[in-house]
Structure 1
Amino acid sequence: MSLVEIARYADVYEADLAAAFLASYDIEVSVTERFQTTVDPLMQRALGIRLMGYAEDVDQARELLERARQGEFMETDGDDVPTEPRARWAGRGIALFAVMASGYPATSLPRRLKPIQIAGMLLIVAMVILSWVLWLWAM
């Protein structure tokens, strides 16, 4: 049986997802150029990643991939990523804590902070606290 190109992808991860999707419908495919492109990632753009399958499965595989591109298999129950403001503020607070705990960015220890750097850090802290207070007040 001969192998035929089913689709061509820009990166190996997208091709792997398509291969797993087709495997769930019992269509056997292989992802080619995987090893050449993982050794040199710039080759992904030059070669493209091909999804190869048997000639008798090509039409069904292309139809399934087109239906997937159109969103037919998407679930309607939404995304599980939290979108409430508290989740966003928690991430910003953690980032601010990391910056403050590690010292002012672009300085090296044991160098002392200059007054302008201290003023900048205090200004950042004041702006964050003010935004948290305004956010809490708005709720």
Structure 2
Amino acid sequence: MTQNDPTSKPRVLFICSGNTARSQMAQVLLEHHGGERFEVTSAGLEPGLLNPLTVRVLQEAGFPTAHLNPKSTTPLLKGHFTHVITVCDRAERNCPIFPFAFKREAWPFEDPAAATGSEAERLEVFRRVRNEIDAQVRRWVEEQA
């Protein structure tokens, strides 16, 4: 299916530098709030390992995480996306061109993986960022209606 196919779902790609926290959260939250309306994936400029605190804060809010795995943007460059959304400043500055993307947006969020302190303090940052992404995703889904 192509972008011009009226039966196809809008395809959304969330991009972050490592695809270990923010973009994964955005993917799960849009999958939840958008239901079956969107085809959603996430990727990173330099994918790392999925942050265990990302998994923890998503699961404690009742979201599934078994399907999450960090991916590179490189194999997706020729993909047809309705929306390419960067969720960090570094990804926005260094994001490759997606020639078949219809719209590009930037939603810069703090990097929870950079948080320091005790596990409880770091978890608090992850929860706050999850909640900020959740609010942005909800607003965006409403705008797409």
Query: Into which bin does the TM-score normalised by the smaller protein fall?
Result: under 0.3
Greater strand share, structure number: 2
The structure where helix makes up a greater share of residues is 1
So what's the TM-score if we normalise by structure 1? 0.23
Q: TM-score, normalised by structure 2?
A: 0.23
Structure showing greater Rg: 1
Higher RCO structure, 1 or 2 (CA under 8 Å, sep 6+): 2
